[in-house]
A = this chain, B = another copy of it.
Amino acid sequence: MGQPTVADVGELGLLARLQSFCDQSLIGDDAAVIPGCNGERSQVITTDVLVDGVHFSDRTTSAMDVGWRAIAANLSDLAAMGASPIGVTVGLSLPGHVSVAWVEGLYEGMYTCLSRYGGTILGGDICRATQTAVAITALGQVSPDQVIRRDRAQPGQAIVATGYHGASRAGLELLLHPEVAHPLSTAQQQMIQAHQRPLPRLDVVEHLQKLVNADFANVAGMDSSDGLANAVLHLCQASGVGAKLVRPHLPIPTALTAWVGDATALDWCLYGGEDFELVLCLPAAIATRLLAHLGQPAAIIGTISPEPGVALVESPTTDAGTALTWDSCFQHF
């Protein structure tokens, strides 16, 4: 008995209860947008926490990779809002037994990722703790008319996934169980790379801005950090619409299907998470032009439909399919 715990209500239950304390006008996207004065660029701010044993471990992720991933995850949230990075702050919890070399590796990984995408380390705080945790807050900027939001998905829009899904989960599997594939194929090495060094899709944002200019009222999007299914469900829920995803159009690496089979590959594609691609809802003509620029594996994976519910179908002309639900998505606790 006793009071309900965080584990009892789960992550989504907890977030629902905390909403009333938050700024309702600013939450609900991958990051908060703070308007600038006089039509200046808006500020975008987002936070991610990575915890040892949950998001990384010495078995799978070097200190430099942890640093890279921590930054990439936050820059991906900025990209999901259409923003470009200014910099980050780093809140670091550390046990005293951690080696100085590990912390330097962490910072070098963060620095390397920021140098590639723009942005600097603006400051932070370091505190003694029993478990290593890295809390990153990223600050970005975006023109007010180029903000990408979740609640603008409209029936008829094409749903674009900007790259492979399932690759990061596959890479984690290979790192946790090195005995399953020895020697690694090139494709498997790429899966490990996808897990250790994900690339936030700021390049997609830059190109989309050229295609769409200031007309972002017809664009919805978020990143797929919590899984492709999670992203589509969020976009549909925020917009009050549904979606039809075409299974054969999902960007699953061929080598992944060949390795683990159709069912597991599909599961990892939809629910694996941490691919840090963008999931965009776009007018069909824009989607086609974006794909022409991005090339494979970016793909139109389905369409937005007026009625609620996300269905996975076998072809664009099929109506009957499997319903995707929140139940299958990953939750902390």
Contact = CB atoms under 8 A, between A and B. Distances in A.
A93 interface: yes
Nearest to A101: B3
Main secondary structure of the interface of A (DSSP, over half): mixed
A323 interface: no
A43 B15 CA distance: 28
A108 interface: yes
The interface centre, meaning the residue of A53, A120, A136 with most chain B CB atoms within 10 A of its CB, is: A120
Interface stretch (A23-31, A165-173, A183-191, A259-267): A23-31
A108 B107 CA distance: 34
Contact of A6 (B6, B98, B120, B123): B98
A122 to B, nearest CB: 4
A279 to B, nearest CB: 19
Contacts of A121: 21-23
Interface in A122-140: 122-131, 133, 135-137, 139
A315 interface: no
The interface centre, meaning the residue of A100, A131, A137 with most chain B CB atoms within 10 A of its CB, is: A137
Given A89-B32, A122-B27, A123-B32, A14 B47 contact: no
Interface in A25-47: 26-27, 31-32, 34, 36-38, 40-41, 43, 45-47
Interface of A: 2-9, 11, 13-15, 17-18, 21-23, 26-27, 31-32, 34, 36-38, 40-41, 43, 45-51, 53-55, 86-87, 89-101, 103-104, 107-108, 110-111, 120-131, 133, 135-137, 139, 332-333
